[in-house]
Amino acid sequence: MAALIELAYLAAAALFIIGLKRMASPATARAGNFLSAVGMLIAIVGTLLDRHIVSFQWIVVGGAIGSGLGLWMARAVRMTAMPQMVGILNGFGGGASQLVGAAEWHRLMQPGALLPLDTAVSIYMSTLIGGVTFAGSMVAAGKLQEIVPGRPVLFPFQHLFNLVLFLGGAAMGMYLLISPGRPEVFAAMNVAALLLGVLLVIPIGGADMPVVICLLNSYSGLAAATTGFVISNHGLIISGALVGASGIILTQIMCRAMNRSFTNVLFGGFGAAIAASGGSGGRGAAPRGVRETSAEEAALLLGYARSVIVVPGYGLAVAQAQHQVRELADLLEKRGVEVKYAIHPVAGRMPGHMNVLLAEANVPYPKLFDMEQINPAFEWTDVALVVGANDVVNPAARNTPNSPIYGMPILDVDKARHVIFLKRSLNPGFAGIDNELFYNEKTFMLFGNARDSLMKLVQEVKNV
Amino acid sequence: MMEGLVILLVIFVLAMFVGLEVVTKVPARLHTPLMSGSNAISGITIIGSTVVAGLGATKLATVLGVIAVAFAMINVVGGYVVTDRMLQMFKKKPEGGK
């Protein structure tokens, strides 16, 4: 029976790998996800065959509650809220690892007796990583949902304090290796892990949350793997490693897209620096000349253009305006205007987020172009229509060395003949940085909610 | 007993390489579903949670185990369903577009 269970885990791990491999193309991705889910089912059924399991009723209760909640969340969530969703799910995975560690510790702990070294080490690792993942993910999700302040929360000696906390957690783990029968020390270690999770994420600005979510995704994989070490389960280890790897890669991609080093994201307190230098270039700056336009004028510009590149940003997502963008694009195409979409790697709030949103609006994906593909085309483009994007088109990234986003690869919107910004106000973007492009003479600002503005544009283009 | 740990480490490291290899091939446009999908896989802690919840050891261990099962299932079911929701949109696009 034990061999059978091991085989079930092997099958599950194989299915996970095949599933991830199928993610390489949109055509096979859905089937891949299904295979991965089948793998999970096989793993769960295999586990239930374990002869050590004596009572099933509580497993069923816990499983039913969890499944119900998971199903409800997955159905109810808006595509715009996907980053928070992934963060929350991630947190639950980490929380489960922490709980397994705690439960195993409580089961195995005998006053006075020593735990086998490998078991003990695995339990403490699972507890610590799981706790950090749980608390960190929840704070990150809170920041993305704007329940928790998105601005970096900093206090003096923060990094030092975190280091002490981390070393303290590790030290408590070590102490427990020598004298395991100390519940209060174990509890303190758990609290330290949770606190560390909160404190590691809270100083990181809202704009960097996608990186944090990727990183925590990686942690939740590592947490699963360490749980595998706790109960000597190969299936858990393999799957955890897969997730850990995918999280690491996505973290790298995000960092590269923002031209930030990994350590800079984690320890930079991004956004705080801006607050300091914000007096000159930030919100407080004296109002400079901005050319405000009407929907009518913008529609004329668009309607008589030969080529238009739409640059969607998070503002589009917030306004749920992906469908209106497509309607406008369809209308323009009917008039013979060539319409393309330029997708910045960090458009939206997680890698690939904008693609999902546009997919929801049925925008055909051959029309979506990555940054490297489309940047040379701006020069030959009549109108760049920026919908709710800001930092990813800010030329300061190219020519203002003291700007916090200096060096970040951007879409070369400023090279287009005309730029139309659909924006709610002149407020700086998520990163809190002013955009000189607003004040450029070829820029037209159309203020208002992106969705309303687009609807007006659709009306006006019909009349052109 | 350390040998057992080493074997587990070997498996872990090799699986890491497989993961890196497979995931790098996923195109940027599918990164969001990739994240939620791989996230669902990290719900594999459901295995550990199930064993712990079902051992019938101490009362506290069982309670913690059951909560762990619920947490892990949220991760698993939520992750797979939401990934499917996204991928379904990607699939219907070629004929839905134009």
- Residue pLDDT, tens place only, A316-369: 877 888 888 999 999 999 988 999 999 988 777 788 888 888 888 888 878 888
pLDDT-derived band at B84, boundaries 50, 70, 90? very high
- The pLDDT, as a whole number, for residue A271 is 44
Interchain contact, A90 vs B27, CB within 8 Å: no
- Asked if A86 contacts A350 with a C-beta cutoff of 8 angstroms, the reply is yes
Q: Which member of A9, A24, A82 has the closest CB to residue B25? A: A24
Q: What angle do CA A226, A232, A237 make, to 5 degrees?
A: 45
Contacts of A248 (CB under 8 A, 6+ apart): A218, B20
For residue A199, give the nearest of A169, A241, A244 by alpha carbon. Answer: A169
Q: What pLDDT, on a 0 to 100 scale, did the predictor assign at position B1?
A: 57
Q: Where are the beta strands (DSSP E) in A209-299?
A: none
Q: What is the end-to-end Cα distance of chain A in Å, rounded?
A: 74
Interface probe with A: pick from B38, B62, B66, most Cβ of A within 10 Å = B38
Angle at A96 between CA A230 and CA B32, to 5 degrees: 110
* Interchain contact, A53 vs B54, CB within 8 Å: yes
B75: Cβ–Cβ under 8 A, 6 or more apart, which residues? A70, A89, A90, A92, A93, A96, A220, B39, B40, B42, B43, B45, B46
Q: What is the distance in angstroms between the Cα of B10 and the nearest Cα belonging to chain A?
A: 10
| Whether the complex's predicted ipTM surpasses the cut of 0.85 | yes
Quote the pLDDT of residue A61.
92
Kindly report, residue by residue over A24-75, the tens digit of the pLDDT: 988 899 999 999 999 999 999 998 988 788 888 889 999 999 999 999 999 9
Mutation target for B interface from A237, A340, A362, A374: give the one with most B CBs within 10 A.
A237
- Burial environment of residue A36 by CB neighbours within 10 A (0 to 12, 13 to 18, 19 or more): buried
Sign of CA dihedral A355, A357, A363, A367: negative
The answer to whether residue A407 scores a pLDDT higher than 90 is no
Closest CA to A164 of A133, A187, A192, A202: A192
Q: Residue A58: what pLDDT?
A: 87
Q: Which of B15, B66, B95, B43 is nearest to A40 (CA)?
A: B43
- Of A56, A71, A242, Cβ closest to residue B18: A242
B77 chain-A contacts, CB cut-off 8 A: 66-67, 70-71, 74
How confident is the prediction for chain A on average, in pLDDT?
A: 84
SS3 of residue A125 by DSSP: helix
Q: Which helix (H) or strand (E) holds A75?
A: helix A57-76
pLDDT at position A284 is: 40
Over 90: is that where the pLDDT of B15 sits?
yes
Contacts of A347 by beta carbon, 8 Å cutoff, 6+ apart? A311, A312, A313, A314, A353, A354, A389, A392
Interchain proximity B39–A220, CB inside 8 Å: yes
Q: What is the mean pLDDT of residues B35-56?
A: 88
Q: Which of A293, A335, A276 is nearest to A421 (CA)?
A: A293
Question: Measured between alpha carbons, how far is A130 from A123 in angstroms, rounded to an integer?
Answer: 10
Digit-coded pLDDT (tens) for A117-174: 778 888 888 899 999 999 999 999 998 888 877 777 777 777 788 888 889 888 888 8
Q: Residue B37's pLDDT is what?
A: 92
Is the CB of B72 less than 8 angstroms away from the CB of A345?
no
Q: Of A99, A232, A365, which has the smallest distance from its Cβ to B93's Cβ?
A: A365
Poorest-pLDDT segment among A36-40, A307-311, A424-428, B21-25:
A424-428
Token pair for residue A348?
């939206």
Share of residues in chain A with pLDDT > 90 (%): 27
Residues of B in contact with A370 (CB under 8 A): 28
pLDDT at B93: 47
Q: In whole angstroms, give the CA distance from residue A47 to residue A234.
A: 12
Task: Write out chain B residues lying below 8 Å of A52, CB-based.
Answer: 51, 54-55
DSSP state letters, A379-410: GG-SEEEEES--GGG-THHHH-TTSTTTT---
Q: Which of chain B's residues have a Cβ under 8 Å away from the Cβ of A54?
A: 54-56
pLDDT digits (tens, 9 = 90+) for A75-129: 999 888 888 999 999 999 999 999 999 998 888 877 667 778 778 888 888 899 9
Of B33 and A283, which is predicted with more confidence?
A: B33
pLDDT at residue number A184 = 86
**Nearest chain A residue to B38, by CA:** A243
Structure tokens at A367: 């029309």
Contact A211, A255 (CB under 8 A): yes
CA torsion angle A62 A64 A65 A67 (round to 10): 110
pLDDT the model gives residue A268:
59
- Under 8 Å between Cβ of A461 and A295: no
Instruction: Give the closest-approach CA distance of B21 to chain A in angstroms.
Output: 9
CA distance B43 to B40: 5
Sign of CA dihedral A75, A77, A82, A83: negative
Do residue A73 and residue B74 have CB atoms under 8 angstroms apart?
Answer: yes
- Quick check: A65 and B70 CB within 8 A? yes
Paired with B62 in beta bridges are: none
B-chain CB neighbours of A37 within 8 Å are 40, 80
